[in-house]
Amino acid sequence: MKKQNQFLIFLGFFLLSTIPSFAQNSPAQSNLPIPALLVSQKGNTISTKQQWEKERRPEIKDLFESEMYGKVPGKLKISSVKVLETDNQALNGKAIRKQVRLTFTGNGKELSVEMLLYLPKAKKSFVTFLGYNFNGNQSTINDTAVHMAKAWNGPSAKRGSESARWPIENIVAAGCGVATMYYWDIAPDRNDFSIGVYPLLYQPNQTRPAADEWGALAAWAWGLSRALDYLETDKNVDAKKVAVIGHSRLGKAAIWAGALDQRFAAVISNCSGCGGAAISRNKEGETIGKLNERFPMWPCANFQKYSNNETALPFDQHMLLAMVAPRPLYVASASEDLWASPKNEYLSAVYASEAYKLYGLKGLESKEFPKVEQPILSRVSHHIRNGKHDILLYDWENYIKFVYQFIK
């Protein structure tokens, strides 16, 4: 009996000694605090839009540039524009189709990117959706006149293979325009910094960006701003009504482009997840560690130090979304896209809404996760679509309603 009691006492002490390690891994103890959006690095409370614009927003921008996306290491403007093709009777006479080549030069090298545009003929001023495609311009629509993209990553995709993601005829019929580019033309989606835009801005003997210089996400964001530079010169486009949009990794790039470049009239993120709309802390699915391991070329090299170390982050993604304020912002998710963490995408938009309140604008107010396919349309909009990681007609229909309501 005495030996049994001693064993029970020993067992009790053993279990007590292990409680901290169990607690550390328990859900109740793993909730990391989200950095305050409206408290500056100096500890100042941000209560006006003037404080936001002059103090807090610039320091948030600097944090994301130096620690996550990376700085663009110089200026590089479009050196030449060539309209390769125009058809005023596209889509059975309903649209103007244009194919435009943008050329950039630097360090004795040249980079050319083709942009495909479908613009409605029935309206003089309309919203244009600008975003990258994954497989070449020809993949967005089954139109034999569209040029085949250079095959950077295997065989060229078939015409119209990505048309479900780009319902161009529906978008034009709704009175909106589309402008798209193949993202590989700007920067490769692999750990290769020898091609794309990078070499055009290298210093002598440089072969890859410095630790605080741009990764692919920042390079793609840069390309979206250069596309907007062109659209400002196109007489068929109202450049003050351009909404930047992206799905998945291209959604990450679209948010960063919209955060940096306030010329974009609205920003739309579709299933952008980690490194995009979703808060990185307390996240299932793709985490910073997994992103850095699988796609080290997306962020800048400095971001590696936050792998499995989210507590050290001096920011989180709600602060990125807040940089879009006061412009309209739409964050969308899919019910089965757990890798992107729909709940963390939604909460990020809720927390970002604090910045919109400084402008007297209504964002997302409830932390209660919304029901599937019951969109919330406000200055900060949201929906969660039933289904998997994708961008589909349902998403586009809501984005069209959104831009009609909030882009004037």
- 40, 112, 225, 389: which one is catalytic? 389
What pLDDT, on the 0 to 100 scale, is given for residue 11? 38
Q: Which residues, including other chains, have CB under 8 Å from residue 131's CB and lie 6 or more apart?
A: 179, 180, 224, 244, 245, 246, 247, 250, 254
What pLDDT, on the 0 to 100 scale, is given for residue 153? 81
Euclidean distance between CA atoms 317 and 277, whole angstroms: 6
What pLDDT, on the 0 to 100 scale, is given for residue 12? 39
Our answer to whether residue 21 is catalytic in this structure is no
CATH superfamily assigned to domain 49-406 = Alpha/Beta hydrolase fold, catalytic domain (3.40.50.1820)
Would you call 180 helix, strand, or coil by DSSP? strand
CA Rg, the chain, in Å? 23
Helices marked H in 187-238 — which ranges? 216-231
- 139, 248, 280, 341: which one is catalytic? 248
Half-sphere exposure of 220 (CA within 13 A, CB side): 33
What pLDDT, on the 0 to 100 scale, is given for residue 14? 33
CB 207 within 8 A of CB 274: no
Q: What is the pLDDT along the chain (408 residues), one digit of tens a residue?
A: 444 444 443 333 333 333 232 222 222 224 889 999 999 999 999 999 999 999 999 999 999 999 999 999 999 999 999 999 999 999 999 999 999 999 999 999 999 999 999 999 988 899 999 999 999 999 999 999 999 999 888 888 999 999 999 999 999 999 999 999 999 999 999 999 999 999 999 999 999 999 999 999 999 999 999 999 999 999 999 999 999 999 999 999 999 999 999 999 999 999 999 999 999 999 889 999 999 999 999 999 999 999 999 999 999 999 999 999 999 999 999 999 999 999 999 999 999 999 999 999 999 999 999 999 999 999 999 999 999 999 999 999 999 999 999 999
Listed residue (324, 350, 195, 164) closest to 258, CA to CA: 324
Q: In what order do the strands lie in the sheet with 109-120?
A: 80-89, 95-106, 109-120, 177-182, 128-133, 242-247, 266-270, 329-334, 380-385
What pLDDT, on the 0 to 100 scale, is given for residue 284? 86
Burial class (CB in 10 A: 0-12, 13-18, 19+), 108: exposed
Our answer to whether residue 248 is catalytic in this structure is yes
pTM beyond 0.85: yes
What pLDDT, on the 0 to 100 scale, is given for residue 123? 81
CB 118 within 8 A of CB 178: yes
- Domain ranges, ordered by start, for the chain: 49-406
CA dihedral 294, 159, 100, 397 (to 10 degrees): -80
Euclidean distance between CA atoms 211 and 294, whole angstroms: 18
